[in-house]
Structure 1
Amino acid sequence: MELLNDMALFVEVVKARSFRGAAETLGIPNSTLSRRIGLLEKEIGLRLLHRTTRRIEPTEAGQIYFERSKRIVEEARLAHEHLGEMLAQPSGLLRVSLPVDFANTYLAPLITEFAQRYPDITFEFDLTPRRVDLVTEPFDLAIRVGESEPSHLIARPLARLSANLYASPAYLERCGEPKEPADLSRHQCLRMMKTTTWTLHHGTRTEVVDIDGRFSLNSVGMIRRLATLDMGIIFMPEEIVSEDLADGRLRRILPGWHSAPSTIYAITETRLLPAKTQRFIEFLRERLSRS
């Protein structure tokens, strides 16, 4: 950067044909300018200027250096002027670790919208259930729902989601509709593995309900699918089942009762992020906040 600055100073001196005139244009002391040009000549090992008491002329080498320096300085100026535009259209490969079911059922349309907005970005998504290591593996970020992270990682909150209760109309017709949270203990509850209770909130009230059922799974997508096939009651965010609600495959039950909010995080290894990663995080925060 210092060399580029000295090249810019040299260009102004040659244009002005005087240290004094260039110094006035640049707004720096004449002695400082003369010293900087002297250091430049020493660094590149060439005499660039013929100095006289009345006028300064470039040497043959100085004229060549002037032409090249002028071009480099102009390119740097244009790059600086268009930096905002460059950042607005980031490019490169974006590597992201995503929660499988949340990505498939909710993030996929948002990712499509982001990809259309930034056509110069390519994507590599890891949707395996494993917890990737952002320090040793080549990921730009990970999206996590309601999980705490080690203190050496940077967790940026994107949104907060609450779970509600849903079932299919056919299941409710066959088994009846719960009227109170305690009624859930007598129903088929489709639940994640090792989950034996659901905690529900309604205003200041909190109910911890024992749940049971024939199915316990480690896939939100499969739980959702079984619910649409009339196999039981589910407890998950509306964003995950929005299409099923719109098509009438599911409907909400016990309205007003919901889970405590879970936070969606964008996890990175550092705060210094390239433009592609910054834009992706900003986009998700903007779109998820509308939910």
Structure 2
Amino acid sequence: MEPSLDDIALFVEVARRKNFSRAAEALDMPVSTLSRRISELERRLGVRLLNRSTRKIELTEAGGVYFERCQNVVAEARIAHEQLLEVAQQPKGRLRISMPVSFSLSFMPVIFRDFCEKYPDIECDIDLNTHEVDLLADAFDLVLRFGVQPDSGVISRRIADMAMGLYASSEYLASHGSPVLPAELPRHQCLRTHGNRRSSTWVLASGKQTEEVTVSGRLSINNMGMLQRLAVQGVGIAPLPIYCPIEADGGELLQRVLPDWQLRPMPLMALFPSRLMPAKVRVFIEFLQERLASLPAREHFVPRELAHGAGARLDGQRLHA
């Protein structure tokens, strides 16, 4: 009996993740069932595809050849099936997304509510951890991250740019003074995303004028939400998105520092495991782009084509927003 495409698809999932438990989670099936199906596939083919051990699995030479040939076939078949379903009904299925915590809290509750209303057959499974994600091994359909990502072999798309400014509490400004020129920033406590040289170089623009300054401070952290809270506590001047900032103690808003100057927009990147994008992923990306572009001016996402300095980063680092 010839192997079925379903069994080949199971093998491709295991081969991609090199882990039966992760593959079973992605496929939503018991590990024992998956292992049995793979063993049956090997029996039908008459060749061993995987070398199993208690700690890990590895592809045999034959398994590697089979995986290279089959993965695109399986992806094409899956896309063809979803496109056929699209003609008859709305996109459906489980959509696994990883995204930054602070970004999710600031922007996503209403967006997710409206998305679920529009696409009731899509089940969203959202992960808010900030750990590094291996799209070839972890069970995510889509990963959202701020900052230009390193080339890791995955597919990426820049879907929006977040306009950035400088903010501080009135308590800090009362104690240390409010800078009126970018050149005064090195005399202040500046909160950075990392403590290295690249993170300590801020490029600000006002109209056609650009200033590059080297800043320093006692604290650095790669999380936008924590940068906000440190600024609220009067620790220093923080680079934050240009939307209505969180309130300081007593209901006072953080104050904009150098309001005529902006840092370069920070790109929001979408990462995918394959160029073949399932319908559920495509409609979510389109929905997210549309909603971010329609945010009020104070919640300042810049459409990609309007962003200044395309490809620029806040500080050359990735940021967990």
Q: Could you tell me which amino acid in structure 1 is paired with residue 289 of structure 2?
A: R
Output the amino acid matched with 2:226.
Answer: M
Give deviations 1:93-123, integer Å, cap 9, x for gaps: 1111212332333334423332343333222
| Shift, 1:167, TM fit | 1.2
Indicate if the aligned counterparts of 2:245 and 2:253 stay in contact, CA closer than 8 A. no
**Residues 1:159 and 2:160 are matched in the alignment:** yes
Q: Does 1:86 align with 2:89?
A: yes
Q: Distance in 2 between matches of 1:179 and 1:95?
A: 46
What are the ranges of 5 or more consecutive residues in structure 1 without an aligned counterpart?
A: 1-79
CA distance in 2, matches of 1:159, 1:113: 19
* Letter aligned with residue 273 of structure 2: E
Aligned-residue sequence identity (percent) comes to 40
- The two structures have a TM-score, normalised by structure 1, of 0.63
* Residues 189-222 of structure 1, C-alpha deviations (whole Å, 9 max, x = no match): 1222223232212223222222222322232211
Residue in 1 aligned with 2:210? 206
Q: Distance in 2 between matches of 1:264 and 1:108?
A: 17
Query: How far did residue 83 of structure 1 move?
Result: 4.7
Displacement, 1:250?
A: 0.9
Query: TM-score, with normalisation over the residues of structure 2?
Result: 0.58
The CA deviation at 1:179 is 0.6
Rounded to whole Å, the distance in 2 between the matches of 1:131 and 1:108 is 23
Q: Retained in 2: the 8 A contact 1:157–1:265? A: yes
Change (3 A) 1:137 1:81: closer
Match of 1:280 in 2: 284
Q: 1:190 to 1:161 in 2, by over 3 A?
A: same
Q: 1:82 to 1:277 in 2, by over 3 A?
A: closer
Residues matched between the structures, number:
208
Asked if structure 2 preserves the Cα contact closer than 8 Å seen for 1:97 and 1:143, the reply is yes
The correspondence of residues 219-258 of structure 1 with structure 2, limited to 5 A, is: 219-239=223-243, 241-244=244-247, 248-258=252-262
Instruction: Evaluate the alpha carbon distance shift between residue 130 and residue 83 of structure 1 in structure 2; reply closer, same or farther with a 3 A threshold.
Output: closer
Partner of 1:184: 185
Q: How far does residue 85 in structure 1 lie from its aligned partner after superposition? A: 6.1
After TM superposition, list the pairs within 5 Å mapping 1:60-209 onto structure 2. 83-84=86-87, 86-87=89-90, 90-150=91-151, 152-194=153-195, 195-209=199-213
Which residue of the partner structure matches residue 264 of structure 2? 260
**In the aligned structure 1, how far is the partner of 2:287 from the partner of 2:146?**
17
Question: Counterpart of 1:282 in 2: which secondary structure?
Answer: helix
Q: Distance in 2 between matches of 1:152 and 1:93?
A: 24
| Aligned-partner SS, 2:112 | helix
Q: Name stretches of at least 5 consecutive residues in structure 2 with no aligned partner.
A: 1-82, 295-300, 302-321
Would you say the 8 A contact 2:204–2:210 is kept in 1? yes
Distance in 2, matches of 1:91 and 1:149, equals 31
String of CA shifts for 1:18-41, please: whole Å, max 9, x gaps: xxxxxxxxxxxxxxxxxxxxxxxx
Write the distance in 1 (CA, Å) between the matches of 2:173 and 2:211.
Answer: 22
Deviation at 1:152, TM superposition (A): 4.1
Once residues 182 and 156 of structure 1 are traced to their aligned partners in structure 2, the CA distance between those partners, rounded to angstroms, is 35
Matches of 1:81 and 1:189, distance apart in 2:
54
Q: Which residue of 2 aligns with 1:73?
A: none
CA contact (8 A) 2:166 2:240 kept: yes
Partners in 1 of 2:92 and 2:181 — Cα distance? 52
- Per-residue deviation, residues 219-257 of structure 1 (Å, max 9, x unmatched): 221110121222221112214x54549x64212121121
Q: Greater helix percent: which structure?
A: 1
Question: Does structure 1 retain, via aligned residues, the 8 Å contact 2:86–2:279?
Answer: no
- Post-superposition offset of 1:188: 1.8
CA distance in 2, matches of 1:184, 1:108: 35
CA 224–243 in structure 1, closer or farther in 2 if over 3 Å, else same: closer
Tell me the distance in 2 between the aligned counterparts of 1:175 and 1:160: 31
Pair 1:253–1:120, CA change in 2 (3 A): same
Distance in 1 of aligned mates of 2:231 and 2:245 = 13
CA distance in 1, matches of 2:205, 2:88: 47
Amino acid at match of 1:173: A
